Every structure is written in C-alpha cells, then in structure tokens.
Amino acid sequence: MIDDSAPPHVRRWAIRVEFDGRHYVGWQRQKSGLSVQQLIEEAAYRVAANRPVSSITAGRTDSGVHAAGLVAHLDFPAEANITAKAVRDGINYHLKPHPIAILEAALVPPHWNARFSATWRRYCYTILNRPARPALLDGTVWHIRQSLDLDAMQQAANYLIGWHDFSSFRAAACQARDALRTLDELSITRQDDKILIHTQARSFLHHQVRNMVGTLALVGSGQWPAERVKQALEAKDRCKAGPTAPADGLCLMDVGYPENPFDPS
C-alpha cells in the first residue's frame, strides 16, 4: 500500500475551493494553459514566504468545469507558523483577480489525504431549458431550447443507479483500471427554467457525468425511449450511449469524508 502521509517536515492543510472553470485547463497542471492547481500553489508559495507548497485534490475537474466545494490538501513547510485564517485569506489575496476562492482551511493529520480519504463526490449539472439564450448564466449552463420531459429522464436515470460497468459512459482517454462504479444518486429536478441533475458516487470515470447527462437529454427531447439507456449501459460500448454534454453546466458541489475536516467541533 502506498503511504500518502505528509513527511515530518510539512504540515498538511485541507482547503475547500470554489472557482469559475471557464478560464482554466482544469484543476491539474498541464504543459500548456493555466490550471487552478498552478494558481493555488503559486499563491500558497507566497503565503509560505517563498517556499514550495504541493497539493493533492479530491477531484481533477476538466477544462470549463466549475467547483462550489472542491477539496484539496496543501503541504506547507512545518516551520511556516500559520493559522487557518492565514491560509484562507493569504491565498485568496494572492489569487486576485482570478475567480478562485478558498472558502475554508483546516489543519489535518499527516495521514489525511484529500483524494484517498474521500468517501463520496457530488456533482450538479445545470441545463437552462428555455427558448431564449442565457445572458447572466452564459458559461455556467447547457442551453437547450426544446422542452425536456423530466419524468422520462428520471425513468432513464434510474437504470444507471447502483453498481454497474459504466464503459458506455467513460471517455476514451479515461485512465481508470476498470469501469465498475456504484452510482448512489442520479436525480433530476426543475427550478423555474433550469433543470438540475444531481449525482453522487464514491468516484466517477472521466467524463462519466457529462456522458450520462448527454444521454439523458436525448431521452428528455424524445429522441430516445428511456429503455434505450438501459440497453446502452448493458452494451458496455461508448458508441452506444449519447453525446458528451458541454463542460459549462457541470459543477463539483461537495466532497464527503468520514469526519468533516472543516467541522470546528
């Protein structure tokens, strides 16, 4: 088993982050383009008096995907005598003017790991379902003009809940060893002219949520019967499922742990 504990010369801090993903190549550092990870590590470097700070995240969001509650951990040098308030406010100061904010920070034990200690991830996908294009919500929703049938979409979604081989809903570039996952929730609700698709699982495959949403949209628009989603799932073939929904509407809402690291009690 890999030991992901913090070495003795660092102190590990958990952070909860929100960001507008439109401006970045995603969370993870890339050879080209600006990433959320790069900006946070550079800001933390300044807070740590120009000493390197490394990070690990609970979820590597793709380019254009947003976050309301992504969790990561930062390994600060142990001699950096800082508080949770200093971590939050200091990093936020150095992140300006980027639309990235640290919401909370908490000191965690050396063995705590933002990725491997997590027990679930929760996403919300937002569809703007009206004839008029978005103005205020542009870049944060998938705009579908045609009216969608929520009952049919939920019927189709129910086929995906539970333990399955999600090969039909994983990206070709997915690096997971297998496509076996347990989907705990896939619920669809309407709020005025917005359709919200909430989903939760211990972990997701690359593009799994967006591929599920793209498939459910075919059902909602009447192009597919709900039962065809079950057939697509059983085919274990990406070509049998629907298109990948745009990144704009996807937001990582929260990450769960056996003990909430941000709970002051």
- Domain assignment present for residue 235? The answer is yes
| CB neighbour class for 263 (10 Å; exposed up to 12, middle 13-18, buried from 19) | exposed
User: Could you tell me if 124 and 238 lie in one domain?
Assistant: yes
User: Could you tell me if 137 and 73 lie in one domain?
Assistant: no
Q: Is 62 a catalytic residue?
A: yes
Q: How many structural domains comprise the chain?
A: 2
CATH code, domain carrying 104: 3.30.70.580
- Domain assignment present for residue 41? The answer is yes
HEC string for 47-102 = HCCCCCCEEEECCCCECCCEEEEEEEEEEEECCCCCCHHHHHHHHHHHHCCCCEEE
Please list the pLDDT of the chain residue by residue as tens digits (265 residues): 445 666 668 899 999 999 999 999 999 988 889 999 999 999 999 999 999 999 999 988 999 999 999 999 999 998 888 999 999 999 999 999 999 999 999 999 999 999 999 999 999 999 999 999 999 999 999 999 999 999 999 999 999 999 999 999 999 888 889 999 999 999 999 999 999 999 999 999 999 999 999 999 999 999 999 999 999 999 999 999 999 999 999 999 999 999 999 987 7
pLDDT computed for residue 1 by the predictor: 44
User: Could you tell me if 90 and 158 lie in one domain?
Assistant: no
Let me know: does 108 contact 15? Beta carbons within 8 Å.
Answer: no
- Domain assignment present for residue 263? The answer is no
Identify which of 98, 188, 191 has the alpha carbon closest to the alpha carbon of residue 152: 188
Q: What are the CA-CA distances from residue 49 to residues 1, 42, 44, 77, 82 (Å)?
A: 34, 11, 9, 10, 11
- Domain assignment present for residue 265? The answer is no
User: Could you tell me if 236 and 140 lie in one domain?
Assistant: yes
- Domain assignment present for residue 261? The answer is no
- Domain assignment present for residue 5? The answer is no
- Domain assignment present for residue 48? The answer is yes
User: Could you tell me if 26 and 62 lie in one domain?
Assistant: yes
User: Could you tell me if 150 and 220 lie in one domain?
Assistant: yes
User: Could you tell me if 104 and 200 lie in one domain?
Assistant: no
User: Could you tell me if 235 and 247 lie in one domain?
Assistant: yes
User: Could you tell me if 147 and 239 lie in one domain?
Assistant: yes
Host domain of residue 42: 10-117
Residue ending a domain, among 59, 92, 117, is 117
User: Could you tell me if 134 and 93 lie in one domain?
Assistant: no
State yes or no: 257 annotated in a binding site.
no
- Among residues 4, 20, 62, 193, which one is catalytic? 62
Identify which of 224, 202, 101 has the alpha carbon closest to the alpha carbon of residue 212: 224
pLDDT computed for residue 5 by the predictor: 65
User: Could you tell me if 206 and 178 lie in one domain?
Assistant: yes
Residue ending a domain, among 117, 141, 175, is 117
CATH code, domain carrying 138: 3.30.70.660
Q: What are the residues whose beta carbons fall under 8 Å from the beta carbon of 54, sequence distance 6 or more?
A: 41, 74, 75
Residue ending a domain, among 117, 146, 161, is 117
Count the alpha carbons within 13 Å of 100 in the hemisphere toward its beta carbon: 31
User: Could you tell me if 71 and 138 lie in one domain?
Assistant: no
